[in-house]
C-alpha cells in the first residue's frame, strides 16, 4: 500500500471494516510514513470527537413513553 | 431459555419476558435516533411506540440471540420511510471537497511543527452544540448513516439493511457526511479564530 492509496482505505480502517490483510498493509505503511500516520490519526480523532460530543447530549426516553409502550403491548 | 428456541414456540408470558429482555433495553437508542430524524418530540415518540408495537407483533420473525437492536432499527426505518413516503426526497446534491483539500491546511502547515499533536487545539475547540448543529444540517440520509455508524456502532452491512440500500451507498454517504461536517467545523474554528484563513490557504 502506498501514500496515494491510503486515503481510500482510511474510512474503512477507522470503522473497523477492512479485511485483515489490508488492515495489516495499512498498519505497516503508516508505521513508517509520518504523513499517512497523521492522516489516520486526524480521521480517528475526528470520529472520536463526534462520538464524545454527541454523547453529551444523548437523552433518556421519557418514562411516559416506556409506560405507554408497555401498556399498549402487554 | 435456550437461544435457539423459536419465538413461535413461546407462551405469551415467555414472549413478553423475552421482549422485555431483548427489545425494550434498546428504547433509548431508538428514541435518540428517532429524535434525530423527526422534527418534533411527539413524532419521535410515536415512531418509537409504533416500532415496538410492530416488533412485538412480528416477534415470531426474530431469532433470539441475533442482533435485536439492528432488527428494531430496521423496523423503525421502514415505518419512517412508509410514513414519510410522500415527503421523502432523494438526498440533496451536496458539494463537498475531497478529504485532502479539507485537512491539508492542518497537515501541511504543522507537519514540521515541534508540537506533538497540533490538531488537538482544533478538535478541542469544537463545542458539542456546533457538532449537533452541523449534524442536523446534513441531508437526512447522510445524517442517518453517520449516526448509525458512529453513535450506534452498526457495521456497514447492518446499516445497509436498516437503510435498505447497497453497502457502497452507505460508504459514500458516510464519507460525504464526514467531509461536510469537517468543512463546517473548520469554518466554525475559523470564525472563532482557532485557525486562520491564511493557515487554511497554505
Does residue A48 have a pLDDT over 50? Answer: yes
Chain B residues in contact with chain A using a Cβ-Cβ cutoff of 8 Å: 16, 19, 24, 27-28, 30-32, 35, 45, 48-49, 52-53, 56, 99-100, 103, 106-107, 111, 119, 123, 126-128, 131-132, 135, 146-147, 149-151, 155-156, 171, 174-175, 178, 181-182
Assess whether B115 and B67 both reside in one domain: no
Specify the number of domains making up chain B: 2
Our CA-based measurement puts residue B151 at a distance from the nearest CA of chain A, in whole angstroms, of: 6
Q: Which of B49, B126, B32 is nearest to B83 (CA)?
A: B49
Q: What is the mean pLDDT of residues A20-49?
A: 94
Furthest C-alpha separation in chain B = 69
**What pLDDT is recorded for position B189?**
82
- Is A53 among the domain residues? yes
Is the four-CA dihedral B76, B78, B83, B84 of positive or negative sign? positive
Assess whether B26 and B65 both reside in one domain: yes
| Domain CATH for B156 | 1.10.10.10
- Is A1 among the domain residues? no
**What pLDDT is recorded for position B99?**
44
Nearest-angstrom CA–CA distance, A69 and B93: 38
Specify the number of domains making up chain A: 1
Q: What is the mean pLDDT of residues A36-53?
A: 92
Does residue A7 have a pLDDT over 80? Answer: yes
Tens-level pLDDT at each residue, chain B (202 residues): 445 556 777 888 999 999 999 999 999 999 999 999 987 899 999 999 999 999 999 999 998 889 999 999 999 999 999 887 555 544 444 444 444 455 555 555 544 454 556 677 788 888 888 898 999 999 999 999 999 999 999 999 999 999 999 999 999 999 999 999 988 888 888 888 777 665 555 4
Q: Which domain holds residue A31?
A: 6-73
In this structure, of A50-54, A59-63, B57-61, B187-191, the range with the lowest mean pLDDT score is B187-191
Is the four-CA dihedral A73, B5, B10, B13 of positive or negative sign? negative
**What pLDDT is recorded for position B124?**
80
- Is A68 among the domain residues? yes
Confidence of residue A29 (pLDDT cuts 50, 70, 90): very high
Assess whether B154 and B185 both reside in one domain: yes
Q: What is the mean pLDDT of residues A5-24?
A: 94
Answer yes or no: are the C-beta atoms of B43 and B83 closer than 8 Å.
Answer: no
Domain boundary pick from B33, B54, B83: B83
Assess whether B62 and B104 both reside in one domain: no
- Is B93 among the domain residues? no
Does residue A64 have a pLDDT over 80? Answer: yes
Assess whether B126 and B184 both reside in one domain: yes
Chain B residue whose CA is closest to A12: B171
Our CA-based measurement puts residue A22 at a distance from the nearest CA of chain B, in whole angstroms, of: 17
Contact between B107 and A45 using a beta-carbon 8 Å cutoff:
no
Does residue A11 have a pLDDT over 90? Answer: yes
Instruction: Give the A window 40-69 contacts with B, CB below 8 Å.
Output: 41-42, 45-47, 49-51, 53-62, 65-66, 68-69
**What pLDDT is recorded for position B103?**
54
**What pLDDT is recorded for position B10?**
82
Q: Which of A35, A32, B139 is nearest to A10 (CA)?
A: A35
Examine the predicted complex and report whether its ipTM is higher than 0.85: yes
Chain B residue whose CA is closest to A55: B151
Q: Which of B145, B120, B143, B119 is nearest to B133 (CA)?
A: B143
Q: Which residues from A are below 8 Å from B76, CB to CB?
A: none
- Is A15 among the domain residues? yes
**What pLDDT is recorded for position B107?**
54
**What pLDDT is recorded for position A6?**
92
DSSP 8-state assignment for residue B38: S
Our CA-based measurement puts residue B73 at a distance from the nearest CA of chain A, in whole angstroms, of: 16
Q: Which domain holds residue B112?
A: 99-201
| Domain CATH for B31 | 1.10.1740.10
Q: Give the best residue of A8, A9, A11 to mutate against chain B (max B CB count within 10 A).
A: A11
Q: Which residues from B are below 8 Å from A17, CB to CB?
A: 155-156
Assess whether B69 and B156 both reside in one domain: no
Nearest-angstrom CA–CA distance, B94 and B109: 28
Phi, psi of B21 (to 5 degrees): -75, -40
Amino acid at each position: 500500500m502506498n501514500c496515494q492509496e491510503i486515503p481510500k482505505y482510511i474510512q474503512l480502517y477507522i470503522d473497523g471494516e477492512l479485511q485483515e490483510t489490508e488492515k495489516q498493509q495499512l498498519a505497516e505503511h503508516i508505521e513508517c510514513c509520518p504523513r499517512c500516520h497523521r492522516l489516520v490519526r486526524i480521521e480517528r480523532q475526528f470520529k472520536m470527537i463526534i462520538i464524545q460530543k454527541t454523547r453529551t447530549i444523548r437523552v433518556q426516553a421519557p418514562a411516559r413513553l416506556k409506560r405507554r409502550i408497555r401498556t399498549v403491548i402487554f | 431459555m435456550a437461544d435457539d428456541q423459536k419465538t413461535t414456540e413461546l407462551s405469551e408470558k415467555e414472549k413478553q419476558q423475552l421482549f422485555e429482555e431483548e427489545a425494550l433495553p434498546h428504547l433509548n437508542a431508538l428514541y435518540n435516533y428517532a429524535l434525530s430524524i423527526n422534527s418534533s418530540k411527539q413524532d419521535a415518540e410515536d415512531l418509537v411506540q409504533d416500532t415496538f408495537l410492530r416488533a412485538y407483533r412480528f416477534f415470531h420473525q426474530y431469532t433470539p440471540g441475533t442482533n435485536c437492536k439492528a432488527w428494531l432499527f430496521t423496523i423503525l426505518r421502514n415505518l419512517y420511510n412508509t410514513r414519510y413516503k410522500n415527503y421523502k426526497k432523494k438526498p440533496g446534491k451536496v458539494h463537498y471537497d475531497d478529504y485532502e483539500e479539507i485537512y491539508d491546511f492542518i497537515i501541511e502547515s504543522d507537519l514540521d511543527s515541534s508540537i506533538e499533536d497540533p490538531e488537538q487545539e482544533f478538535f478541542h475547540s469544537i463545542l458539542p452544540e456546533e457538532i449537533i448543529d452541523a449534524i442536523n444540517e446534513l441531508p437526512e440520509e447522510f445524517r442517518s448513516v453517520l449516526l448509525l455508524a458512529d453513535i450506534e456502532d452498526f457495521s456497514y452491512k447492518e446499516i445497509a439493511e436498516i437503510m435498505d440500500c447497497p453497502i457502497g451507498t452507505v460508504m459514500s454517504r458516510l464519507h460525504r457526511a464526514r467531509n461536510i461536517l469537517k468543512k463546517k467545523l473548520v469554518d466554525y474554528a475559523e470564525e472563532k479564530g482557532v485557525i486562520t484563513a491564511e493557515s487554511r490557504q497554505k
